Structure formats: C-alpha cells, structure tokens
Amino acid sequence: MTAVTERLFALQDETYRSFQCGLMPTVDPATVIGVRTPHLRRLAKELYGTPVAEDFLQDLPHRYYEENNLHGFLLERIPEYVPCVEELNRFLPYIDNWATCDGLSPGAFKRHPAALPAQIRAWLDSDRVYTVRFGVCMLIKYYLDTHFSPDYPAWVAAIPGEDYYIRMVVAWYFATALAKQPETVLPYIEEKRLSVWTHNKTIQKALESYRITPEMKAYLREQKIR
C-alpha cells in the first residue's frame, strides 16, 4: 500500500462501506474502503501541496473508490483555472461512477464563468459517460442563474446515447431548469423535444421538487407521455 492508501484504511467504517456499496451498483465492492466524505475532505486539506499529494495525483489509475474521491477533492483545491482544468482532463477518464462524478466541484470555476462554457462543451462531446455527466453537472451548478444562456439547454437536449447515468443527469438538468428558467425550458416539455424516458423522468423530478409551484406541477402532470 501507498502511504495515502494506508491513511484511507485507517479511516475505514465498515457500516458506511456497506451503505455506499448499495448506492453504487457499477462499482466493485472490493474497491470500496468505506470512508465518509468529511474525512476525505479533511485529508485532502491536510495533504494538498505536499510531495505526498503530488505523487498521489500522478499515480493514475487508482485502485480504490476513495482514492478517486480524494483525487477529486485535491483538484478542488487548485486555485488557478487553467491548471485545474488540465488536471481534471487528465483525471476525468478514470471516473467510473456517479458519486465520484457528482461530488467533484472545483473552486476555481466560480471565478471564471466566461471561460468554463467552452470547456463544458468539450466535455459534453466526450464519448465517456462520466465526463459527459460531469459537464452537465457543471451546467446545473454554475449556469442556471446569472450566467444562463438559452444555448445550454439546447446542448443538454442534444446529448446522444441511452446510458442510464447520462439520461438521469439530463432529466435532473431540465427539472432544475424548470424551476430556475421556466420560460426558456418549458417548451422542451411542451414540444416533446426530449426522449420519452427523459421527458417523463424530468417531470417526475420536477414534481418531487419544492422549487416548482403547485400550478406548474399541475400543468406538468398534463404533459406526461403515457
């Protein structure tokens, strides 16, 4: 074991490991140690900028799920936009599950709202499931409010493929956008621009959201494809 892996096993929680494995059917349970996220973030804070962290970041692919999460949390701490994107592009091809993907949120992105969309566009064009999913997650996080553009839902609607984890994040995007940008996004539902599965899943998620008004929910129920 590396020094980092030993640190992770020292934080192991078997009960939490069993819980996590149940949430991630695509991940081999033998690769899950069972470390809670707050512990991983504290370890990332402790290690960031040290030679140990530098060696660890170069050591791809990792064996364990928590090693990948720790890798992502270390990348979150890179303050400069360009180095952060470069390291992300090296790491994203190794992500193999929704939890690692969705938990990754680099702080450098907040300070570069004009630069990031071009990179997101490249991620959406990837042939890797979790690279695409990460791109959609970044649109949800950073581009449904002040920096929204009508181009972005068009990008998401055009994503090809039948992978479950991509379809789910597309539905998540449109359900969230219905709450934040309804005038632009509602036509995607009314005109049935999404696949039937994604259309109905978007409506389901919107109906579960506290941010959608009762009036909008009633209207969305009428839009479900049966």
Mind listing the pLDDT tens digit for each residue in 104-162? 999 999 999 999 999 999 999 999 999 999 999 999 999 999 999 999 999 999 999 89
191/206 Cα distance (integer angstroms) = 17
pLDDT score recorded for residue 59: 93
pLDDT tens profile 63-100: 999 999 999 999 999 999 999 999 999 999 999 999 99
Mean of all residue pLDDT scores within the chain? 96
185/173 Cα distance (integer angstroms) = 10
Furthest-apart CA pair in the chain: how many Å?
58
**Apex 218 CA angle, 212 and 223, nearest 5:** 100
**Which residue type sits at 182?**
P
pLDDT tens profile 167-205: 999 999 999 999 999 999 999 999 999 999 999 999 999
pLDDT score recorded for residue 161: 86
φ and ψ at 53, to 5 degrees? -65, -40
207/218 Cα distance (integer angstroms) = 9
Domain segments of the chain as ranges: 1-112, 113-226
pLDDT score recorded for residue 1: 67
Residue 100: half-sphere exposure toward Cβ, Cα within 13 Å: 29
Q: Which residue has the higher pLDDT, 6 or 161?
A: 6
Specify the CATH class of 113-226 in words: mainly alpha
The two tokens of residue 78 are 């890179």
